[in-house]
Amino acid sequence: MIKVEKLHKSFGKNEVLKGISTQINNGEVVAIIGPSGSGKSTFLRCINKLEEPTNGKIWIKDEDITDRQTDILKVRQNVGMVFQHFHLFPHMTVLENLTYAPLKVKKITKSEAEKNAMKLLEKVGLAVKAQEYPNKLSGGQKQRVAIARALAMNPEIMLFDEPTSALDPEMVKEVLDVMKTLAHSGMTMAIVTHEMGFAREVADRVLFLDGGVLVEDAPPNEFFSNPKSSRAQDFLQKVL
């Protein structure tokens, strides 16, 4: 589904990703963890080309997105993204947030878009908030709306960039629960997270990044109970 080959990314002279190669299969849930500044978010943002890779190749469903000929907008329609700070459109109601892209990009009818949106809002438990503006919602509610907004495009892949890091502790669970349901529904997911418990419980694989290098790639049980590298051991000692 996603294949990354020798991915490099530099910001000026600062090389953030130093040649990462990996693969994420259909229906797989991958947790990307590592110390801050390790390049996790940059790695994720390269997958839908919010960051332009400096070098290397990325394929999404056999399409090379680093190729300039590839219609990246088309690819992005199939890759939903959830941000740390939600980035809901503040001047639109919750319902409009969900229907905007499907109407504009997929050109489906308004009634279809709204029906679909209401279904998704129900799924994340926020159907009653459809007519509210985002600033009337709590952080956890905003993030659930943001997840529903990404799902409204009916993507096959979902990227999560520290989805619970900006939330008050009591709201983390409601967002993780939505993500858990999504994972169990067979969605292909890449999640940058600091929630080790969640990674351990839900992920099929853990990618451990440090200093722009993919240091470990292992199933969660193996990674958390028996990390091979000293860097992963250090990291886990600090966070667990």
Residue numbers of the site for other proteins (CB under 8 A)?
Answer: 48, 50, 73-77, 79-81, 83, 85, 87-92, 100-101, 104-105, 133, 135, 149-150, 153
Q: What is the DSSP letter of 154?
A: -
| Shortest reach from residue 80's CB to other proteins, in Å | 7
99 vs 231 by CB, closer to other proteins: 99
Task: Report the distance separating Cα 145 and Cα 130, nearest Å.
Answer: 9
| Shortest reach from residue 215's CB to other proteins, in Å | 27
Strand extents, DSSP E, 69-200: 79-82, 157-161, 188-192
150 vs 206 by CB, closer to other proteins: 150
Task: Report the distance separating Cα 43 and Cα 39, nearest Å.
Answer: 6
Query: Phi/psi at 127 (nearest 5 deg)?
Result: -60, -35
| Shortest reach from residue 119's CB to other proteins, in Å | 18
| Shortest reach from residue 50's CB to other proteins, in Å | 6
Residues contacting 115, CB < 8 A, separation 6+: none
Decide if 195 contacts 20 (C-beta within 8 A).
no
91 vs 238 by CB, closer to other proteins: 91
| Shortest reach from residue 191's CB to other proteins, in Å | 15
73 vs 240 by CB, closer to other proteins: 73
- Nearest-10 Cα torsion for 194, 196, 202, 206: 80
Residue 71 in 3-state DSSP?
coil
190 vs 206 by CB, closer to other proteins: 190
